[in-house]
Amino acid sequence: MEFKAKEIAEILGGTVDGNPEATVTTFARIESGKPGAICFFANPKYERYVYECKADIIIVNKTFEPKQSVSATLVRVDDAYSAVATLLDYVTARKRSYKRHRGRCRISWSAKIGRKVYVGDFAYIGRKAVVGDYTKIYEQVYIGENVRIGSHCIIYPGVKIYPGMVIGDRVILHSNAVIGADGFGFAPLEDGTWKKIEHTGNVIIEDDVEIGANACVDKSQMGSTIVRKGCKIDNQCAIAHNVEVGANSVMAAQTGIAGSTKIGEHCIFGGQAGVAGHLTLADNTTIGAQAGVLGNIKEGGKVFMGTPAIPYKDYFRSYALFKKAGLK
């Protein structure tokens, strides 16, 4: 990549404070900025690096007022944090290759492959699968029969998509994610053994979803497991059968959602959070790291911590008592 400050400002809808011809070729964190790099400043606790940084360009909020001289050219935007995400997305899109490659992959004759789709070595695309335009399927990906994948998706190496699954547009699936494995369903028998319950449904992943490496979304027993549009799911998360995750919800690593639970929109889950099965969580619920939700959450906009999960203020009051008891 190579960009001038004026080009970056045009992409981000910002303004230039300094040399509009300043040129950068790489990104760097503001605490380690170097010549030829672009950084961003959004968190006030990093302000000292704005004055020490050797980067040629720094993206800042329009409201930022330097307290000392700044050697770098500033690109002022409404929100520096989201602006960097936009710029990174723009750079990635420019680098992306869309040539079709069929050297050592296997694509069924009945599959429908869109325009400018990339298919890597040893990838497999099954019968009657559909892949939308500009989607990139990396090496060693398995796509089962009757799978539908939208346009502008990225399917990283080792992803497995079971037959009949539905993937929307602009979805990103990271390495070794599994979409559509059987849910964990077994019926106890009188002799103490377990009989497997067959899962006949599928998974629907809507537009603009990102799912991390080694994450699993299980297909439903009947109907669909659904991840609504805009969700972001981190590495090693598990979404069980018949779950519905509301739009624009986010989950940090190792979160687990048990079967048939309904997650509202704009919910946030900290790392290793767990939710029991057959529950309903209201919109805008936040679950802290390692919390365990054992009951319905009916009122939205609340923050919960601990196991069993309780409102965070109650949790901190309880923790103060636990800590005091432990010191005796």
3-class DSSP state of 260:
coil
Q: What string of DSSP letters covers 174-227?
A: -TT-EESPPPS-EEE-TTS-EEEPP---EEEE-TT-EE-TT-EEPPPSSSEEEE
**241 classed as catalytic:** yes
- Which candidate in 101, 174, 241, 278 is catalytic? 241
- 302: exposed, middle or buried (C-beta count within 10 Å: 0-12, 13-18, 19+)? middle
On whether the CB atoms of residues 263 and 244 are closer than 8 A, the answer is yes
* β partners of residue 163: none
Where b means 16+ CB within 10 Å and e means fewer, 19-39 reads: eeebebeebbebeebeebbbb
Q: In whole angstroms, what is the distance from residue 310 CA to residue 302 CA?
A: 10
Q: In whole angstroms, what is the distance from residue 275 CA to residue 281 CA?
A: 9
Closest CA to 13 of 67, 87, 63, 70: 87
Pairing mode, if any, of strands 224-227 and 178-179?
unpaired
| Residues carrying an active site annotation | 241
